[in-house]
Structure 1
Amino acid sequence: MNNVLKAYNLHMGPAKCAVDLGDGSERGLYVNQDYILHKLGRPHRAINLMFCYYPLDEGFPERASIAHKSDKVTFAWGYPYDDYFPYKGGLHGTLDDEPFTLMRDVRRHGQDVLLTLTIDPHVSDEHLIAIAKDLTTFGRVLFRINHEATGNWFSFNKRCTYQEVADFYVRFHNIVKEYAPNVSTILCLDGVTSFTEDEIEKEEEFKEAVKVTDIWSVDKYMALHWGWPYDVAEKGGTSHKRDTVEQTYRLTKKSYERYKFLNNGESKPMVMSELNADGDVTGPYDQADMVKEFCNMLKTESSDWFSGFTFYQFRDDGRLGLEITDPNNKDVGIEQPVLKTYKEIIHDDYFSPVMTQTEEISLPVTLRWGGSEDATGLSIPLHFAENPVFLEVRFEDEIKDLNLMMEINGKWFYKAPGVTVVDMISAFFEKPLNKACDMTLKLFAPPASGENDSSQGKDWAINYYTTIPKLPQVRLRFAPIEP
């Protein structure tokens, strides 16, 4: 067994462009974070979970397509309320059901929660306060309220004027700031939709929301079949579209510039909360090429105005996923060409968090998890005489119950509490070494429960602390045990 002699402080900071991932929606089920981590090889900045809250409606909290099942529905949003999975918290709700079980899974795997919630604007402040309080223990939550708010398909738009939707956003934002200051709000509009126009859609109604929100956003699909699953996209059809990659990029940038103008010239983070090209329209190969081209534009232009994007989504019942759902078994995903392309993108330095190593540490050491863009961990130097045959990290005694995210050779691994051995040799399957080298084993400690601990101090809502009493042992071998 190799005794680890040294370790150094390590800070994880934001990427030049963050990458988030949608996991579950009206078009697909949630996929657990262990599976996604093994498929993609790294955690994301955040995982987007899409839910709805219509507590005043008959049938809620059952999913709309179940509570109001009808053969007459011919559109994904043709139900009395939005067909996302129901948010089970809020007033008189519970924290023991979705989305909170999923949020805990996301956070224990070293990622932030990006919660998308469509909500009836007619609910009282008591409902909104309850939702805000639900989110207080989940660290630096990103909260997208009533997204695509200048559209006409969601139930909140059918029930209210655009001004009422905008006023509701401001009202809910202010409640979030009072009761859950750990949460950042995302305003998602259509933005500027034409090169011949300067204003964003419904600009007059939403100008106050643009000013108060924490983050600006648009959803831009380079190709989309919105008629799915009720028709098939064919040439000459009217339920799909395809734009160029350049047009998508330029309209997103123009939207940012208009947001900034409305905010008296002051900038805020700008994200694209849903990005993809629908394989129903493009086929699988152009889909991958368009995603790659968009990300290459971000890199080539060093787009410092753009903070990040959310790929929609991991597994999709249609063709908007890195995997498509096996219709014979919804627990099985069928990998698409875009998965390999996306994996290459997110492992690029431009889209990866920045690691900064500082001074050597002495034990015990306390690590801080502030979130996926602000955490302190450990960097443990290892020497590789050649490509390894065995690489195991062993946790015994007082460190076996640690909850950890670890990385080596560009691949990340999760260690759950109680796990004593993590086999990391798969980090060298796709990237074998061809000569001797030195590299570091990186280690971070997000909360094992997925929630922050109010007993940890004044900053508990945004920081979680873990004490490491000793370092793990590393078993590193460069030949089979028996030749």
Structure 2
Amino acid sequence: MDVRRIRRGEPVIRLYVSDGSERSTYMPQQMALKWIGAPHAGVNLMSCYYPKQTFWPERRLFSEEVYHYRHSPADATEDTPLRDLNDWTDGYYSFDVEDPRNDVVRQMEDVRRYGQDVRLTLTADTDTPEEDLVRIAEMLRDFCPMELRLNHEAAGNGWFRFAKNVARMPPDEARRTYQEISDFFIRAKRTMASVAPGLRFVVCGARGDYARDDMLGPMMKEPGTLMCVDCYGSLHYGWPGHRIKDPPIIGRPHPPRDHAVYRTTWELCEREFRPFHEEMSALRGEPTRVDLGEFNYDEDIHGPQVRAQLIYECYVWFAANPDVIASIVHYELTDRGGLGLLHEPEYERLEDVVPSRPALDVYRDVMKWQEFRHPVEVLAPVGEGAEAVELTWRSSCDAEGLELTLDGAHRAVDFREAYWRQVVLFGADGEESYVYTDERTLQLPAGAAAVRVFAPPPDGRNNAAGAFRRAVPVPSAA
């Protein structure tokens, strides 16, 4: 058996999945991986910081009593009166700085424990004080490198609390509000990055007038940020209060009637994503690859078969255009509407989820494509007399581990110590499977050709600057 030190790098295009939102419940990664089959480069988590809310830090979900966005849950054709802004909710998990073990922190620990990077989407009031930003950054520091997508979808926003229903404001007031959003993004980035240097900010951009310097332009040009756009091929945005009757499989639902939007894959990719890439590259004065902060097609509009086909066609385009696309967030894992890879019938009912097939099967196959796989570099062989090696986990795209080459006759690997690890098993046909365990011995499936071993942080947190490091014994095979 040969043992070599290896380094896992960044794929051509990174794949993320979003887990938990105003439409769903966060699914623990152990359960998620049983459905998906393999880890993502990262997981997007949805959170908010609104300590002025009258119900803070309670998480309020969609109901007849609680209005989401500006739609009435009973009839999405009518605007919901906002009344007191402090009674308005985004429906996300609360990032409560007074609770070091709040829901979001525990989700981040879980994501990283299972060998994936954290992307935190956070909505926050634009007057959030410096001391609060510092406290949030201090709570994020141990999870870095990670990404923070702050106040997404600000352009034309009529639903999130931080934007104060800017879409309904007079032009001058709207322009000032956009300036406030941009100024806050830049202020938050500079404050929080000074506390947590491994924090990379994701800016949700927009084309046209929104990119002007007296609107959202300054934050979109902020150096060192990842440019993203949220854009769905189809979306029933009146969900759940307004049901689409007889959803069309192919066609264009009229928004005032059906509260939905639909684009063909060509329209989405060539008229939305490529022009966005070109405009953002021009705005920044350099080639700018784009992150798709939220992408999907809605099963409520197309039905399961056509939705799966549309998703597949888009990923074919993404894989063929790595100069345009840097990363993709499939939104989302579980969903009470038509966006999930898994359908959740009610909040907090994860045991009753149903796979959305064939979309789930298509997506599991897409994850295996070469453009989305992590490359692995061989660093050096481990000498015969070596007793221990140090494994380093910085991120899913920068991790040092071990590779054991087997002859097919081995039946088990003895790790000589119980520690938390990610094990990638390779069959004779090259098929990969993932095992997470802290057992000293791992029984091998018949025909196992190779084993790769990585050591992500067991509690999700770093134990060194920007990394988790662990010295482990050199394993042996039996």
Q: What TM-score do you get using the length of structure 1 for normalisation?
A: 0.84
Residues 1:179 and 2:185 aligned together: no
Match of 2:421 among 400, 403, 412: 403
- CA change 1:15–1:200 in 2 (3 A) is farther
Q: Does the 8 Å CA contact 1:59/1:68 hold for their aligned counterparts?
A: no
- Does the CA-based 8 Å contact 2:411-2:477 persist in structure 1? no
Instruction: Give me the whole-angstrom Cα distance separating, in 2, the residues matched to 1:335 and 1:371.
Output: 29
User: Residue 243 of structure 2 is aligned with which of 229, 232, 243?
Assistant: 232
Structure-2 residue corresponding to 1:117 = 122
Give the CA deviation at 1:70.
Answer: 4.2
Percent identical pairs in the alignment equals 26
Call closer, same or farther: CA 1:424–1:184 in 2, change over 3 Å: farther
Of 333, 338, 345, the match for 1:314:
333
Deviation at 1:210? Answer: 1.3
Q: Which residue of 2 aligns with 1:9?
A: 5
Query: Aligned in 2, Cα 1:103/1:414: closer, same or farther, shift over 3 Å?
Result: farther
Q: Offset of 1:350 from its aligned partner?
A: 1.0
Distance 1:66 1:217 in 2: 27
Q: Shift of the alpha carbon at 1:167?
A: 1.0
The answer for the alignment partner of 1:256 in structure 2 is 277
Unaligned runs of 5+ in 1: 193-198, 475-483
| Counterparts in 2 of 1:244 and 1:149: CA distance versus 1, 3 Å | same
Paired residue for 1:377? Answer: 401
Kindly report which structure 2 residues correspond to 1:393-432, keeping only aligned pairs within 5 A, or say none.
393-396=413-416, 399-409=417-427, 410-417=431-438, 419-423=439-443, 425=445
What is the match of residue 351 of structure 1?
A: 372
| Equivalent residue for 2:381, pick from 342, 349, 360 | 360
Q: Deviations over 1:382-432 (max 9, x none)?
A: 1237xxxx9544444xx1124334332443423343x2344553xx8xxxx
Question: Considering only aligned residues, what root-mean-square deviation do their CA atoms show, in Å?
Answer: 2.4
| Offset, 1:37 | 1.7
* Cα deviations by residue, 1:235-276 (Å, 9 ceiling, x for unpaired): 65331111011121121121122112111x223442001110
SS at match of 2:392: strand
Distance in 2 (CA, whole Å) between partners of 1:221 and 1:269 is 18
| Structure 2: 5+ residue stretches without partners | 167-176, 248-253
Residue 276 of structure 1 pairs with residue 296 of structure 2: yes
Q: Is residue 142–residue 184 contact of structure 1 (8 Å, CA) maintained in 2?
A: yes
Deviations, residues 276-324 of structure 1 (Å, cap 9, x unaligned): 0010111111111111101111223x42231110001111111101110
SS of 1:137 mapped into structure 2: helix
Equivalent position to 2:92, from 84, 100, 117: 84
Q: 2: distance between equivalents of 1:297 and 1:170? A: 33
Return the match for 2:60 from 61, 64, 68. 64
Q: Is the 8 A contact 1:216 1:270 kept in 2?
A: yes
Count of residues in Structure 1 that have an aligned counterpart in Structure 2: 435
For the residues of structure 2 that align with 1:239 and 1:367, how far apart are their CA atoms? 51
Q: Which amino acid aligns with 1:52?
A: C
Q: Compared with structure 1, are the counterparts of its residues 473 and 94 closer, same or farther at alpha carbon in structure 2 (3 Å cutoff)?
A: farther
| 2:226 corresponding residue in structure 1 | 215
Indicate yes or no: 2:287 matched with 1:267. yes
1:96 aligns to 2:107 (yes or no): no
- In structure 2, the residue corresponding to 1:231 is in which secondary structure? coil
Q: Shift in Å at residue 355 of structure 1?
A: 1.3
Q: Which amino acid aligns with 1:206?
A: L
1:203 Cα deviation after fit: 3.3
- Secondary structure at the aligned position of 1:8 is classed as strand
Q: Does structure 1 residue 126 correspond to structure 2 residue 131?
A: yes
Given the superposition, is the C-alpha separation of residues 382 and 451 from structure 1 closer, same or farther in structure 2, using an over 3 Å criterion? same
Tell whether 2:336 aligns with 1:291: no
The one-letter code matched in structure 2 to 1:443 is: V
- Give 3-state SS (helix, strand or coil) of 1:228's partner: coil
**TM-score with structure 2 setting the length:** 0.85
Q: Which amino acid aligns with 1:222?
A: G
For residues 463 and 327 of structure 1, do their structure 2 counterparts lie closer, same or farther at Cα, with a shift above 3 Å needed? Answer: closer
